[in-house]
Structure 1
Amino acid sequence: MNKSLLVGAVLGAVGVTAGGAVATYSLVKGPEYAEVLAVEPVKEQIKTPREVCKDVAVTRQRPVKDEHQILGSVLGAVAGGLVGNQIGGGNGKKIATVAGAVGGGYAGNKVQENMQSNDTYTTTQTRCNTVNDISDKVVGYNVKYQLDGKVSQVRMKDDPGSKIPVGKDGQLMIGQNQ
């Protein structure tokens, strides 16, 4: 057999085999997209603090000028002594005057104390406190997909829509589908 014919036959066989392999590869090439079956948003609660203020009425006691109620005690003692002096005669009158002065002094003290504790005024005061507003923020998506008849799940930053591109290596192209 001719050497050229043999080399041509071998090269032709190699070429046909290689061409068939390329044609077979392009027919067996994997899918371009994975089908999305379900998308579930992943949420995180966000607390946003804010200050709430309101005006409230506040009752305060006026400052006391006579802490020991001396004026009330003195006026009560004078009034009590005058009333006691009107009772009885002789030594009884003296005892009644002293007793009236002591009782009147005590009563005057208590009357002034009561008047001072009830001497109040009302003002408006702003009171504030912090409350938290709670809201949900989507931080990702759990995506259930089907690729080559196999169902899998992946977490993605964004909602992929109805399909996810697949690379030449058969891997999902996450982030390139938006």
Structure 2
Amino acid sequence: MNRMTLNVLNIAIAAVLATGISACNKNADAGVAGAGTSADAGVKYAKVTSVEPVRSTVNNPKQACHDETVTSTAPPKDEHRIAGTAIGAVVGGLLGNQVGGGKGKTLATVAGAVGGGYAGNRIEAKNQHGQVTSSVERKCETVNNSSSKIVGYDVRYEYNGVTRTVRMDHDPGDRVEVQEGVTAVSAAR
């Protein structure tokens, strides 16, 4: 064989080989695609019958403060009303001393002093007022500050006539994917 024939033959063999490899690759790709399709055909779903959110409550107590006006009455300076009693006794004694004579005068003086002391005490009580003061005080108390958040979902589903429950991290919708009777984590809508 001559050299040119050999080159043509090599080119022809190379072309046949390239076409065969390309055809093999196409068949391999088709086999992979077919495998994915057959895997998808085996997916099974269960009907969701109920979904209940699972909540976690956290209490973070906090301090609440407010200003409050407080009114107080200071007792009068002479809360026993000694001045009124003393002045009333002196005035009553002087008036009683003006009445009568002898032992009656002494008795009138004592009675006037007692009556005047009592009257002076009562008059001072009626006219005496304590000093009223107002001040603003800061009052604080600890109050509950609760918050609730969803931490998962209890999903009840029916598969092959059997009802099961599983906790999931999301609401799956109307159906869940199952594999050999076990719930998958992915949602199926």
Instruction: Provide the TM-score with structure 2 as the length reference.
Output: 0.56
The alpha carbon displacement at 1:54 in A equals 6.0
**CA separation of 1:48 and 1:122: change in aligned 2, threshold 3 A:** farther
Q: Unaligned 5+ residue runs, structure 1?
A: 1-22
Between stretches 31-40 and 46-55, larger displacement belongs to 46-55
**Equivalent residue for 1:97?**
109
Aligned position for 2:158: 146
Contact 1:72–1:109 (Cα < 8 Å) also in 2: yes
Q: 1:114 to 1:45 in 2, by over 3 A?
A: farther
1:135 Cα offset (Å): 6.0
Q: Is the 8 A contact 2:55 2:148 kept in 1?
A: yes
Deviation at residue 39 of structure 1 after TM alignment: 0.9
Query: The residue matched to 2:49 in structure 1 has which SS?
Result: strand
1:55 paired to 2:57: no
In the other structure, the counterpart of 1:65 is: 77
Q: TM-score, normalised by structure 1?
A: 0.59
Contact 2:159 2:181 in 1 (8 A): no
Work out which of the two has the higher radius of gyration on C-alpha atoms and give 1 or 2.
2
Contact kept in structure 1, 2:45 and 2:178, CA below 8 Å: yes
RMSD over aligned CA atoms reads 3.7
1:138–1:124 distance in 2 versus 1, CA, 3 Å: farther
State the aligned residue count: 149
How far the C-alpha of 1:144 sits from its partner, in A, is 1.1
Q: Secondary structure at the match of 1:87?
A: coil
1:18-167 to 2 correspondence within 5 Å? 30-43=42-55, 49=61, 51=64, 53=66, 55-56=68-69, 58-113=70-125, 115-116=127-128, 118-123=129-134, 125-126=136-137, 127-132=139-144, 137-167=149-179
RCO (CA 8 Å, sep 6+): is it higher in 1 or 2? 1
Structure 1 residue identity aligned to 2:168: M
Give the 3 Å change call, closer, same or farther, for CA 88–40 of structure 1 in structure 2.
same
Q: Percent identity?
A: 47
Which of these residues, 153, 173, 177, is aligned with residue 184 of structure 2? 173
3-state SS in 1 of match to 2:115: helix
Task: State the distance in 2 between where 1:131 and 1:52 align.
Answer: 10
The one-letter amino acid paired with 1:55 is E
| Pairwise CA distance, 1:143 | 0.9
**Equivalent-residue separation in structure 1 for 2:147 and 2:158 (angstroms):** 33
Matches of 1:30 and 1:111 in 2, distance apart?
106
- Render the CA deviation track for 1:137-176: whole Å, top value 9, x for unaligned: 4343221112344321122333222333335x653233x5
